[in-house]
C-alpha cells in the first residue's frame, strides 16, 4: 500500500478539497498528476444497478443488465448468515467484473413502522438480527476485495420528509434499537465505507454530526474506512468535514469544494481534517485498485439459479391448516392473480435492478396441471367483475386454488411511505371470492412489508414470498410443491392492524420533527410487553416437518458480567421430511430498574435436519446479551439479578426456559441528594450501611427514654418502618424537616453516601 500521508502532502488544498466530493454521480475524483484514479461506486444492495452513462439515482435511466437477488426483507427471513454471506460473495464477484470499488449496501435501518416505503430494503425490526445478517453480507462482498457501504447511518426510518426530518430519540433508544445493526457490522465486518443518512438526529444532520460520525462510529466502534454522504445529504459541507464526513456524493459541481478551501484559508477549518478525509478515501481507493480483478467472471445464469435457491430459503409459511401444502404435482391447481405471471420481486427507487431475466411461477410450473386466471390488474389496481368471475370459475374447477397477491409497485418505494397497511381492495375481494369458491385456497404474498389480512380465516394456507428477486417464481413453485421445505421465519411482527403498531401515534411526526416516543418498544418488544395478539409474531415460520426443542443446558447458573455463558439446546426433526429449523434464543431481565422488554433476541442458528435427526446448537452469551444502555454512565450496564433464557421456534413459541444470575462488576456512580428516597437508599447495600447507624442515632436523640434503645434495636425498628410502603417514598430531606438537622452533619452524610466503593 502506498504511503498515503506522503501522497496527501503532495496534493494542493484545491485537489484535497476536490477529492472530498464526487466527480459525477458515481465516481470519486481522480488526480491524474499524482496517479490517483477515479473509482466507481454503485447501488446495491441486492444486485448491481450500474449506470454507465447519464447517471441518475432514482432508477429512471436504465442500468446494465444484472441479477436481482431477493431484497433484504426476504433474506432476513432466511435467518441464514452463511447463505447471505454467499449472496454477498456473488455480488462481490459481479462488482469485480464491472470494476466497481464499492456496492452501496447493505441497508440496515430498523423497521419502526410497517409504513416505511423502504422497509423492503431493510432487514428487520430487531437490531441483533439486522446486525448479524448485515455483517455476514459485508464479509461476503468484501471477501472479493470490493467495499460495501452500510447505510443509512442513522435513524432513517421513514421516507416522509426524509431529507429534512429530525429523528428525535433518547440516547438509550438510539443505542439499543437504532445503532446496533451498524455497530455489530462495524465491529464484526469492518465495512469499507459507511453512508450517512439524509435526516437529522435530535436536530443535527447526520452528515454534520460529530458525535455520530466521529465519537460513536470511529472512536467507540473502531470504524476504519470512509464515510460518504447519501446522495444529496450534505447541508453544510464545512461542518461535515469537521464532523467526519469524508466524501460528499454525488458531485457538488465544485461549489462545496470551494467552500472547504475558503474555510481553510480563513482559518475556520483545520487543514489537517481535510487531510484526514483524503487519507481515508485514498486508503479505500487503493485497497480496491491494488486488488482489482476485472477478469472475474460474472455468470449471470448461475447467479439466477442461486437467486432462486436463496429465495426458496427465505419464504415464510405463515399458515398451513390441515397440511394443505405441499401440493401434489398430479392435482389440478388454479394459479390466480397477475403476480403468478408477472411476479413483483423488487422495490422501487435506487435499489431497482434491470434484471437480465425473470422467472414467473407460471413459467416455473410448466408441465404441471395448472390453469391460470389473471384475477386483477396490478397496474390499474382493479379487478373487474369479469376477472373475478373467471377466477372463481378456475378455482371451482381445481382441487386447490393458489392466489398470487400482494402490493403493486406503486404501493411501496423509496421516496415515500405507505399511508396504510392494507392490500389493494380489489385483491382482498378476489381472495374472498376465490376462497368462497374453493375451500382449499392458498395465498402467496409478494410484498416488502406487512399487510393486513382480513381474509385470513377464510384461506387454508399463506406463503409469504416477500420481494424474492428475479427468480422468485421458480422458488415459489419449489416450495408450493414440496421440492423445498420452507424454512423462513418472520424478521418482523405482523400486527393485526396498523393501529396496533407502537409507533402508530407518532410515525411521520409533526412537520420536520419525528419523536420516537415508543422508545425501545419497537416491534415484538412492544407487543410482548403489552401481551397483545398479533397476526403473526416475530420469528414465526412453519415447515412441512416438525421440530422439537429439548435439553436446555447452561454452562453456569451464575456468572459475572465479565464472563460468558454458553447455552446448548437439542433440536430434533420429529417429522418425515428433511427440513431446516431456526433455533432462536431470547434473553429477558426478570426484574429491572429500567423499563425493559420482556425478551430480546440474542442468538439464532439455522439447523438442517433429516427426519429423526437431532443436533445440538450452542449459543454464547456475553455482557451485551444482558445489558441495557445506562444513560447515567453512557455505557452498557447489567443490573445484578436473574435473567430468563428462552429458546424455541419463534418469539411466541418458546418451550424451553432457564434462569441465569448475572452479577455486575461495575459500580454505578452514586448521586444521592436530599431528594433521594428511602426505598432507593435501602436498595443499595452500601447506602443502607451508611444510613442505618445515622438513623439509629437520630432516633436515640429524639426519644432517649425509649425502652429497648440500643443501636441494634433502633436499627431493627427502623428497618421495620422502612418496609412500610409509606416510608418508601420519603425523601431524605423528610427526616431533617421533622427533626431539624445540623447542616454540617447532613453534608457529611451525603458525602459518605456518595462515596464510591
Give the nearest distance from C-beta 281 to ligand BGC in angstroms.
Answer: 17
Residue 134 binds ligand BGC (CB under 6 A): no
Residue 350 binds ligand BGC (CB under 6 A): yes
CA–CA dist 598, 51 (Å, integer): 47
Give the nearest distance from C-beta 121 to ligand BGC in angstroms.
Answer: 8
Q: Are 45 and 73 in contact (CB under 8 A)?
A: no
Contacting residue, 81, 111, 151, 580, with ligand BGC by CB under 6 A? 151
Pairing outcome for strands 461-464 and 316-320: antiparallel
Give the nearest distance from C-beta 307 to ligand BGC in angstroms.
Answer: 21
Give the nearest distance from C-beta 350 to ligand BGC in angstroms.
Answer: 3
Burial class of residue 271, CB neighbours in 10 A (0-12, 13-18, 19+)? middle
The smaller minimum CB distance to ligand BGC, of residues 68 and 479, is found at 68
Give the nearest distance from C-beta 414 to ligand BGC in angstroms.
Answer: 6
Strand segments, DSSP code E, in 382-532 are: 400-406, 441-446, 461-464, 513-515
Q: Are 348 and 59 in contact (CB under 8 A)?
A: yes
Give the nearest distance from C-beta 321 to ligand BGC in angstroms.
Answer: 40
User: DSSP string of 134-187?
Assistant: HHHHHHHHHTTT-EEEEEEETT----TTTTT-EEE--HHHIIIIISHHHHHHHH
The count of chain residues that interact with ligand BGC, using the rule CB under 6 A, is 8
Closest CA to 617 of 657, 578, 583, 646: 583
The smaller minimum CB distance to ligand BGC, of residues 168 and 230, is found at 230
The smaller minimum CB distance to ligand BGC, of residues 351 and 427, is found at 351
Give the nearest distance from C-beta 311 to ligand BGC in angstroms.
Answer: 22
Residue 104 binds ligand BGC (CB under 6 A): yes
Residue 230 binds ligand BGC (CB under 6 A): yes
Residue 723 has, within 13 A of its CA and on its CB side, a CA count of 5
Give the nearest distance from C-beta 94 to ligand BGC in angstroms.
Answer: 16
- The SS3 of residue 645 is strand
The smaller minimum CB distance to ligand BGC, of residues 346 and 676, is found at 346
The smaller minimum CB distance to ligand BGC, of residues 308 and 413, is found at 413
Q: Which cell is 248 given?
A: 460528499
Give the nearest distance from C-beta 64 to ligand BGC in angstroms.
Answer: 15
- The SS3 of residue 403 is strand
Buried b (16+ CB within 10 A) or exposed e, 486-514: bbbbbbbbbbbebebbbbbebbbbeeebb
Pairing outcome for strands 147-153 and 193-196: parallel
The smaller minimum CB distance to ligand BGC, of residues 44 and 537, is found at 44
Residue 193 binds ligand BGC (CB under 6 A): no
Give the nearest distance from C-beta 103 to ligand BGC in angstroms.
Answer: 9
Buried b (16+ CB within 10 A) or exposed e, 275-313: bbbbbbbbbbbbbbeeebeeebebebeebbebbbbbbbb
Residue 137 binds ligand BGC (CB under 6 A): no
Q: Are 132 and 101 in contact (CB under 8 A)?
A: no
Q: Which of 230, 257, 474, 528 is catalytic?
A: 230
Q: Are 674 and 736 in contact (CB under 8 A)?
A: yes
Q: Are 460 and 441 in contact (CB under 8 A)?
A: yes
Query: Active-site residue 230, yes or no?
Result: yes
- The SS3 of residue 388 is helix
Element (H, E) at 277: helix 271-289
Q: Any idea how long the chain is?
A: 757
The smaller minimum CB distance to ligand BGC, of residues 104 and 617, is found at 104
Cα–Cα distances in Å, from 695 out to 584, 717, 747? 50, 10, 15
The smaller minimum CB distance to ligand BGC, of residues 173 and 350, is found at 350
Contacts of 227 (CB under 8 A, 6+ apart): 153, 193, 194, 195, 196, 213, 217, 244, 245, 246, 247, 280
Q: Are 554 and 645 in contact (CB under 8 A)?
A: yes
Contacting residue, 16, 27, 46, 57, with ligand BGC by CB under 6 A? 57
Contacting residue, 18, 22, 28, 43, with ligand BGC by CB under 6 A? 43
The smaller minimum CB distance to ligand BGC, of residues 57 and 489, is found at 57
Pairing outcome for strands 614-621 and 565-573: antiparallel
Positions 605 through 644 that interact with ligand BGC (CB under 6 A): none
Angle between helices 685-702 and 732-739 (to 10 degrees): 10
Give the nearest distance from C-beta 59 to ligand BGC in angstroms.
Answer: 8
Q: Cβ of 18: how many Cβ atoms within 10 Å?
A: 24
Contacting residue, 178, 231, 411, 678, with ligand BGC by CB under 6 A? 231
Q: Sketch the per residue contact string, 408 through 447, with ligand BGC: x for CB under 6 A, - otherwise.
A: ----------------------------------------
Positions 508 through 527 that interact with ligand BGC (CB under 6 A): none
Residue 334 binds ligand BGC (CB under 6 A): no
The smaller minimum CB distance to ligand BGC, of residues 29 and 151, is found at 151
The smaller minimum CB distance to ligand BGC, of residues 150 and 373, is found at 150
Residue 596 has, within 13 A of its CA and on its CB side, a CA count of 23
φ, ψ for residue 261 (rounded to 5)? -60, -50
Residues that bind ligand BGC in the complex, under the rule CB under 6 A = 43-44, 57, 104, 151, 230-231, 350
Active site residues: 230
Amino acid at each position: 500500500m502506498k504511503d498515503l500521508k506522503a501522497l496527501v502532502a503532495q496534493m494542493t488544498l484545491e485537489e484535497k478539497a476536490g477529492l472530498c466530493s464526487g466527480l459525477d454521480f458515481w465516481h470519486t475524483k481522480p488526480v491524474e498528476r499524482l496517479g490517483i484514479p477515479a473509482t466507481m461506486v454503485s447501488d446495491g444492495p441486492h444486485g448491481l444497478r450500474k449506470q454507465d452513462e447519464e447517471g441518475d439515482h432514482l432508477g429512471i435511466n436504465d442500468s446494465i443488465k444484472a441479477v436481482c437477488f431477493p431484497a433484504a426483507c426476504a433474506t432476513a427471513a432466511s435467518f441464514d448468515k452463511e447463505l447471505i454471506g454467499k449472496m454477498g460473495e456473488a455480488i462481490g464477484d459481479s462488482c469485480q467484473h464491472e470494476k466497481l470499488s464499492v456496492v452501496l449496501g447493505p441497508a440496515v435501518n430498523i423497521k419502526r413502522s410497517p409504513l416505511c416505503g423502504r422497509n423492503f430494503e431493510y432487514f428487520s425490526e430487531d437490531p441483533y438480527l439486522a446486525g448479524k445478517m448485515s455483517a455476514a453480507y459485508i464479509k461476503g462482498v468484501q471477501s472479493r476485495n470490493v467495499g460495501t457501504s452500510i447505510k443509512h447511518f442513522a435513524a432513517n426510518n421513514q421516507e416522509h420528509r426524509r431529507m429534512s426530518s429530525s429523528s428525535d430519540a433518547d440516547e438509550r433508544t438510539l443505542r439499543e434499537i437504532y445503532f446496533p445493526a451498524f455497530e455489530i457490522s462495524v465491529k464484526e465486518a469492518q465495512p469499507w465505507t459507511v453512508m450517512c443518512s439524509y435526516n437529522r438526529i435530535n436536530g443535527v444532520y447526520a452528515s454534520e454530526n460529530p458525535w455520530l460520525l466521529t465519537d460513536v462510529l470511529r472512536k467507540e466502534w473502531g470504524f476504519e474506512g470512509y464515510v460518504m454522504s447519501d446522495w444529496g445529504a450534505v447541508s453544510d459541507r464545512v461542518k461535515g468535514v469537521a464532523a467526519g464526513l469524508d466524501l460528499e456524493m454525488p458531485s457538488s459541481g465544485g461549489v462545496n469544494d470551494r467552500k472547504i478551501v475558503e474555510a481553510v484559508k480563513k482559518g475556520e477549518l483545520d487543514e489537517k481534517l481535510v487531510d484526514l478525509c483524503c487519507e481515508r478515501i485514498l486508503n479505500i481507493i487503493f485497497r480496491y485498485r491494488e486488488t482489482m480483478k476485472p477478469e472475474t467472471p460474472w455468470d449471470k445464469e448461475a447467479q439466477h439459479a442461486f437467486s432462486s435457491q436463496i429465495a426458496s430459503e427465505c419464504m415464510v409459511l405463515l399458515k398451513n391448516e390441515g397440511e394443505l401444502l405441499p401440493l401434489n404435482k398430479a392435482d389440478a391447481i388454479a394459479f390466480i392473480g397477475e403476480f403468478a405471471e408477472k411476479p413483483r420481486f423488487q422495490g422501487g427507487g435506487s435499489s431497482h435492478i434491470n434484471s437480465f431475466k425473470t422467472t414467473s411461477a407460471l413459467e416455473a410450473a410448466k408441465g404441471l396441471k395448472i390453469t391460470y386466471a389473471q384475477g386483477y390488474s396490478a397496474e390499474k389496481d382493479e379487478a373487474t367483475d369479469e376477472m373475478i368471475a373467471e377466477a372463481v370459475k378456475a378455482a371451482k374447477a381445481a382441487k386447490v386454488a393458489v392466489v398470487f397477491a400482494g402490493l403493486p409497485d406503486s404501493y411501496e418505494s423509496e421516496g415515500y411511505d405507505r399511508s396504510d397497511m392494507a392490500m389493494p381492495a380489489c385483491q382482498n375481494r378476489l381472495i374472498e371470492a376465490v376462497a368462497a369458491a374453493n375451500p382449499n385456497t392458498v395465498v402467496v404474498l409478494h410484498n416488502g412489508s406487512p399487510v393486513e389480512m382480513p381474509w385470513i380465516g377464510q384461506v387454508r394456507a399463506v406463503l409469504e414470498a416477500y420481494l424474492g428477486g428475479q427468480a422468485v417464481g421458480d422458488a415459489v413453485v419449489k416450495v408450493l410443491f414440496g421440492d423445498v421445505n420452507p424454512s423462513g421465519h418472520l424478521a418482523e411482527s405482523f400486527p393485526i392492524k396498523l393501529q396496533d403498531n407502537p409507533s402508530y401515534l407518532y410515525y411521520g411526526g409533526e412537520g420536520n420533527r419525528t419523536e420516537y416516543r415508543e422508545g425501545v418498544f419497537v416491534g415484538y418488544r412492544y407487543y410482548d410487553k403489552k401481551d397483545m395478539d398479533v397476526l403473526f409474531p416475530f420469528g414465526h415460520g412453519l415447515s412441512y416437518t416438525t421440530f422439537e426443542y429439548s435439553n436446555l443446558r447452561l454452562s453456569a447458573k451464575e456468572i459475572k458480567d465479565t464472563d460468558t455463558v454458553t447455552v446448548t439446546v437439542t433440536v430434533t426433526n420429529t417429522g418425515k421430511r428433511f427440513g431446516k429449523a431456526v433455533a432462536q434464543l431470547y434473553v429477558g431481565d426478570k426484574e429491572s430498574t429500567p423499563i425493559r422488554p420482556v425478551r430480546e433476541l440474542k442468538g439464532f442458528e439455522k439447523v438442517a435436519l433429516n427426519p429423526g435427526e437431532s443436533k445440538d446448537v450452542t449459543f454464547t452469551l456475553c455482557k451485551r446479551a444482558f445489558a441495557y444502555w445506562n444513560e447515567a454512565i453512557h455505557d452498557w450496564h447489567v443490573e445484578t439479578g436473574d435473567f430468563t433464557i428462552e429458546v424455541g421456534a419463534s418469539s411466541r413459541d418458546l418451550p424451553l426456559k432457564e434462569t441465569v444470575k448475572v452479577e455486575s462488576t461495575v459500580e454505578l456512580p452514586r448521586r444521592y441528594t436530599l431528594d433521594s428516597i428511602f426505598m432507593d437508599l435501602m436498595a443499595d447495600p452500601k447506602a443502607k450501611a451508611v444510613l442505618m447507624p445515622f438513623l439509629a442515632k437520630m432516633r436515640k436523640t429524639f426519644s432517649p427514654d425509649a425502652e429497648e434503645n440500643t443501636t441494634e434495636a433502633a436499627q431493627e425498628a427502623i428497618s421495620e418502618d422502612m418496609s412500610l410502603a409509606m416510608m418508601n417514598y420519603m425523601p431524605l430531606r423528610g427526616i431533617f424537616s421533622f427533626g431539624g438537622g445540623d447542616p454540617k452533619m447532613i453534608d457529611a452524610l451525603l458525602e459518605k453516601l456518595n462515596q464510591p466503593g
